[in-house]
Amino acid sequence: MIIFQTDDIEMPLINEAIVSEWVKQVASTYQKRCGKIAYIFCSDNKILEVNREYLQHDYYTDIITFDYCRGDVISGDLVISLETVRSNSEMLGVSYERELDRVIIHGILHLCGINDKAPGEREIMENEENKALELLNKIRG
């Protein structure tokens, strides 16, 4: 079950059925099935609060992924700051929608076991994000 909710911000304009299908297809490419996945869209202030409380990090970020995976079933809470997504899209010169799609799948890739902190991992993550975004383009037709 994939759910979409908000905390202190308006719901972004996304097609939940298409995103859910996309997430399931991406997970299956890693031999994973989707359990309960919650997307929680929020403001910068809320994600900063979550980052401080749960990770002891004192900075804004675009996504925080809470991993509740068991075996080949991915589950988690994905907290996404829409304000940071918007500012990142402007800084990177890409559309807000494209950056939001990238962040939406970034959390799923983490749940599938892709990391991005150690040397060389960021490039692997970006490659996997790009492959997933190509799949989304195919699903959307």
pLDDT digits (tens, 9 = 90+) for 72-88: 999 999 999 999 999 99
At 44 the pLDDT is 97
Mean pLDDT across the stretch 106-113?
97
β-strand 73-81 against 63-67: which pairing, if any? antiparallel
Whole-number CA gyration radius for the chain: 14
Evaluated on CA atoms 15, 92, 126, 69, the torsion sign reads negative
How many other C-beta atoms lie within 10 A of the C-beta of residue 124? 14
At 141 the pLDDT is 86
- Distance from C-alpha of 96 to C-alpha of 89, rounded to nearest angstrom: 5
Q: Are 51 and 12 a contacting pair, CB within 8 Å?
A: no
- Distance from C-alpha of 37 to C-alpha of 89, rounded to nearest angstrom: 24
Mean pLDDT across the stretch 31-53?
97
Domains of the chain: 2-140 (3.40.390.30)
- Phi/psi at 53 (nearest 5 deg)? -70, -45
% of the chain surpassing 70 pLDDT:
100
At 96 the pLDDT is 97
